[in-house]
Amino acid sequence: MRLFLKKITHPFLKLGLKLFYLKPRKYSYDGIKVLVHPEVFPPHLTLSTKILLDFINPMNLENKTLLELGCGSGIISLYASKKQAIVTATDINKIALQYLEKASLKNNLDLEIIQSDLFDNLQNRIYDYIIINPPYYPRTPKNTKEKAWFCGENFEYFEKLFKQIPNHITNSSNVFMILSNDCDIEHIKSITSKFDLNLKIFFEKKILGEINYIFKIASK
């Protein structure tokens, strides 16, 4: 984990990312096109977004309520909408949501867009599906852009997430969260147990030596 933290803060990689993201970049999946602003999480050079898209591909989401918590570009939300889910896309990043609104019109796909710090603006809402690709490196984000990567020095993002989740699920809800072996999975697991939640590996994919796990989160 520390190794990867070194990787993403390495000056050459930082410079490469900065140059690549000097302007908004297109990203597409299954005919859906989005424009990703430089302030928004880049699905192009990371594996997690594509793994989640392929993961929901075979699912029957018709008329299911689905929340993408921290939607970034919103490509997963738009794809779920194409699969006829009733989608809510949230993020803390206003620019991400402004771009997603435009993408929803351009792709003619309907979804609800809400700015929210985790579940703060989603009171009393219950979902059939919740999809989360969280920031997981333990460092305090300096700005909104960094919130895509850093979960706080003491994993504050996860402390709040796991405290709030039980109020938004039932026994039949499906909550999926992707994590990579680059992060401190054991520490994140230890936080779930404080809130009577279970974190179980549901799917895993190894690409170029990195293992991504999709965990299913459920109440104990």
Residue 70 lies near ligand SAM (rule: CB under 6 A)? yes
Q: Which is nearer to ligand SAM, 20 or 220 (CB)?
A: 20
Kindly report the number of other CB atoms within 10 A of residue 122's CB atom.
Answer: 18
| In the complex, least distance from residue 127 CB atom to ligand SAM, rounded to whole angstroms | 15
Residue 118 lies near ligand SAM (rule: CB under 6 A)? yes
Per-residue tokens: 198: 């279970």
Report helix, strand or coil for 174.
strand
Window contacting ligand SAM (CB under 6 A); options: 65-73, 101-109, 190-198, 206-214: 65-73
Binding letters toward ligand SAM, positions 157-186, x by CB under 6 A: x-----------------------------
Residue 135 lies near ligand SAM (rule: CB under 6 A)? yes
Which residue's CB comes closest to ligand SAM?
70
Window contacting ligand SAM (CB under 6 A); options: 59-67, 87-95, 163-171, 201-209: 87-95
| In the complex, least distance from residue 172 CB atom to ligand SAM, rounded to whole angstroms | 23
Taking the alpha carbons of 9, 11, 15, 16 in that order, is the dihedral positive or negative? negative
Considering only 88, 93, 104, 192, the residue that binds ligand SAM (CB under 6 A) is 93
> Dihedral of the CA atoms 82, 86, 87, 88 (nearest 10)?
160
What is the distance between the alpha carbons of residues 115 and 145, in angstroms, rounded to a whole number?
15
DSSP characters over 47-79: SHHHHHHHHHTT---TT-EEEEES-TT-HHHHH
Q: Which is nearer to ligand SAM, 96 or 169 (CB)?
A: 96
Taking the alpha carbons of 17, 146, 91, 37 in that order, is the dihedral positive or negative? negative
Q: Which is nearer to ligand SAM, 110 or 117 (CB)?
A: 117
Window contacting ligand SAM (CB under 6 A); options: 11-19, 47-55, 99-107, 204-212: 47-55
Largest interatomic CA distance in the chain = 46
Q: Are 90 and 133 in contact (CB under 8 A)?
A: no
Q: Which residues of 191-214 are buried (b: 16+ CB within 10 A; e: fewer)?
A: bbeebebebeeeeebeeeeeebbb
Considering only 61, 66, 71, 217, the residue that binds ligand SAM (CB under 6 A) is 71
* Residues contributing to the site for ligand SAM (CB under 6 A): 41, 43, 48-49, 52, 68, 70-73, 76, 90-93, 96, 117-118, 133, 135, 147-148, 157
